[in-house]
Structure 1
Amino acid sequence: MQSLDFESGDLAVTEEFLNSAYTRMQIGNDGPREVRTRIRREVLGPINFDQLDMGFDMAYDADPLGRVCLVTIHSGQIEEIYHDFGPDTFVPGQTGMLTPHDLPYSGVIRTSRFDATMFDPAILNRVATGAGEERVRLSGHRPVSTTAGHRLRRVVAHLQQIASDPDAANSPLTVATASDYLAATVLTTMPTTAEHEPDATDRHDAHPDTVRRAIAYMESHLGDRIAITDVAAATFVTPRALQLAFRRHLDTTPLEYLQRLRLAAAHEQLGAALPGDGQTVATIAYRWGFTHPGRFATAYRRAYGRPPRQTLRG
């Protein structure tokens, strides 16, 4: 779905748009203010980042959305009725799940300005360790702690910035990394059904050969879209066993090691760049999945003792 902008002061037009952009629903004006709706969407691969400004009290009764929907409230409030949890209210500064992806939902948006981040729930299953054949679900609608909520908001805000940058949003590796990054953050900040502890088989499989096979696979797919589940499948172990093997033998995680390899690839490309070939630190960083230039520069300096621009110019 492409980026979009919508603005209307008509209830029927707003309802028609919401039906086409989200899911089938009925809406009504539940307050004294006149209808005013503004919605803007940025797209980053499979993730939609919507900014909504509802200038009236919009009551809604909607069919299942089919997507995980996280909301961050900036003003006003959203009163949601959860089939599993009962009624709850989101107020400014809070982030959580608006609705389970496979259940109808209803409530009232009270003159609110908020962000909605939506993605296919299958992404959670692809990234989750220990998911097996079971589909991972969010088992609650609020983060597991205040600290987790802050972290989730920061990650969403970071990815919104990336989505608004055409160069980043059009980079396949950036898109793949971003979706994995969001899914991994949701899995660690929201209550889910994913399992996290290795079993006896996982502990048995966490041997040095597992690490060697995983590294070989990473090195041969460095520029490809790969998640921990892909590495585990290529290594013939579970994601839990892979995590344990890297912790046991290298004192790191598979994703941290993959980032180290990509940082080395960026270092090599920076050093090989020629004057006038159009390459910049930012484009090379994006090529290897580093979406935040400042964080890339910090990681690069930590690894190589100088800023990446010096390597490029050298």
Structure 2
Amino acid sequence: MSVVFDSDDLERTEEFLSKSYAPMRIGSGGRDAGAHITRVASDSVSADQLDLHFEMSYDVSPLGRICLCDIETGTIEDHQAAGWPHPADFGPGDLFSFAPPDRPYSGRICRARYIITMLDPDVLARVAGVEKPVELLDHNPLSAAVAQHLRGAITYVRDQVLAAPDIAEHPLLVSTATQHLAAAVLAAFPTTALDERAGTDLDAHPRALRRAVAFIEANPERDLTATELAQAAGVSARAVQLAFRRHLDTTPMAYLRRVRLDHARAELRAATLGETTVTQVAARWGYTRPSAFTAHYRAAYGELPSQALQDTGFSA
């Protein structure tokens, strides 16, 4: 999506900004309110270039997105997000985070040309490999070098992906570029992601695995979810995944499937020919397609399920 907005009417500018970002109130002490805005966007990321030829105050509701600002000319003054101890001023060359996604902010833009980049927080969490939302612990980048790298990632996503029609219409290409941008954000700012990853790594211990395994083996007939396994193990869902990978070289769902297959095999061996069918047993253990049951059973035991039942195939 590409949009160009031009206006010298403050009300129209407020309406456009409210629709593009979040509900806000803006004001100006002068008559001149010229604004030129270009926007390119996908579902998960947007990049806007704003050129405001006047002094504009703003009071903005939470954006729900990671919001980065890169100032080319002019200044942003008295900017303060909820929870900041003091307002801050920014000028040309400054690249910073406007506000946490869940907090309102206010300030004043003084005849500035700047770029706003907004990113879905879920993308940041996926790239970081954590379950909880990732929080930026400071509104300033860690160094000038990482800020410059982030600026390059923003420029690439804006100019080479979102603004290029032949590229923007390919979801996989947009998704890859967006993840690259998210990785640059994670590298540029101190975040909560590292602490959560470290905690997850420590939580993936044998005790958590034993609790998850015991829960699976006690409840193989239930439609278990990752959340239930995590609660039973007393750790995060990601820690459960890591524990199964690290100690058993498998996944929780693959382990659950094998336990169910073991129960199905025992049931087939104990069944009376003519009274029980493979199809019935497969359905009881979560298989709606007998062909899938046969494939998994043969891979696990090197025989057909019908051999355990002394049958020649599926019967209804």
Q: How would you bin the TM-score normalised by the shorter chain?
A: 0.5 to 0.7
Q: Does 1:237 align with 2:210?
A: no
One-letter amino acid of the structure 2 residue matched with residue 175 of structure 1: V
CA contact (8 A) 2:2 2:163 kept: no
**Deviation at residue 237 of structure 1 after TM alignment:** 2.6
CA contact (8 A) 1:99 1:141 kept: yes
Mapping 1:1-314, distance limit 5 Å = 2-30=1-29, 32=30, 34-79=32-77, 80-85=79-84, 86-129=86-129, 131-132=130-131, 134-161=132-159, 162-194=161-193, 195=195, 196-197=197-198, 199-200=201-202, 236-237=241-242
Mapped to 2, the partners of 1:202 and 1:33 lie a distance apart of 62
Shift >4 Å, 4+ stretches: 200-204
Classify 1:203/1:179 alpha carbon distance in 2 versus 1 (closer, same or farther; 3 Å). Answer: farther
Count of aligned positions: 209
CA contact (8 A) 1:33 1:55 kept: no
Mapped to 1, the partners of 2:109 and 2:99 lie a distance apart of 13
The CA deviation string for residues 119-167 of structure 1, in whole angstroms up to 9 with x for no partner, is 21111111113x24x2211121110112111111111111111211111
What SS does the corresponding residue of 1:237 show, helix, strand or coil? helix
One-letter amino acid of the structure 2 residue matched with residue 95 of structure 1: L
Q: CA RMSD in A?
A: 2.6
Give identity over the alignment, percent.
39
Say which is worse superposed, 117-126 or 47-56, in terms of deviation. 117-126
Mapped to 1, the partners of 2:203 and 2:36 lie a distance apart of 53
CA contact (8 A) 2:157 2:178 kept: no
Mapped to 1, the partners of 2:167 and 2:90 lie a distance apart of 31
What SS does the corresponding residue of 1:135 show, helix, strand or coil? coil
Mapped to 2, the partners of 1:19 and 1:43 lie a distance apart of 16
**Deviation at residue 44 of structure 1 after TM alignment:** 3.7
**Deviation at residue 83 of structure 1 after TM alignment:** 2.2
Mapped to 2, the partners of 1:153 and 1:164 lie a distance apart of 16
One-letter amino acid of the structure 2 residue matched with residue 126 of structure 1: R
Mapped to 1, the partners of 2:83 and 2:138 lie a distance apart of 9
Mapped to 1, the partners of 2:202 and 2:104 lie a distance apart of 40
**Deviation at residue 199 of structure 1 after TM alignment:** 3.4
One-letter amino acid of the structure 1 residue matched with residue 179 of structure 2: D
Which structure has the larger Rg over C-alpha atoms?
2
What SS does the corresponding residue of 1:99 show, helix, strand or coil? coil
CA contact (8 A) 2:142 2:189 kept: yes
What SS does the corresponding residue of 1:12 show, helix, strand or coil? helix
CA contact (8 A) 2:61 2:103 kept: yes
CA contact (8 A) 2:201 2:242 kept: no
Taking structure 2 as the reference length, the TM-score comes to 0.61
Classify 1:33/1:140 alpha carbon distance in 2 versus 1 (closer, same or farther; 3 Å). Answer: farther
Mapped to 1, the partners of 2:9 and 2:118 lie a distance apart of 25
Mapped to 2, the partners of 1:153 and 1:84 lie a distance apart of 26
What SS does the corresponding residue of 1:113 show, helix, strand or coil? strand
Taking structure 1 as the reference length, the TM-score comes to 0.61
**Deviation at residue 183 of structure 1 after TM alignment:** 1.0
**Deviation at residue 236 of structure 1 after TM alignment:** 4.1
User: Where do 5+ consecutive residues of structure 2 fail to align?
Assistant: 207-236, 250-316
Mapped to 1, the partners of 2:203 and 2:107 lie a distance apart of 46
What SS does the corresponding residue of 1:191 show, helix, strand or coil? coil
CA contact (8 A) 1:60 1:106 kept: yes
| Larger RCO, structures 1/2 (Cα 8 Å, 6+ apart) | 1
What SS does the corresponding residue of 2:80 show, helix, strand or coil? strand
Classify 1:188/1:65 alpha carbon distance in 2 versus 1 (closer, same or farther; 3 Å). Answer: same
Mapped to 2, the partners of 1:47 and 1:200 lie a distance apart of 33
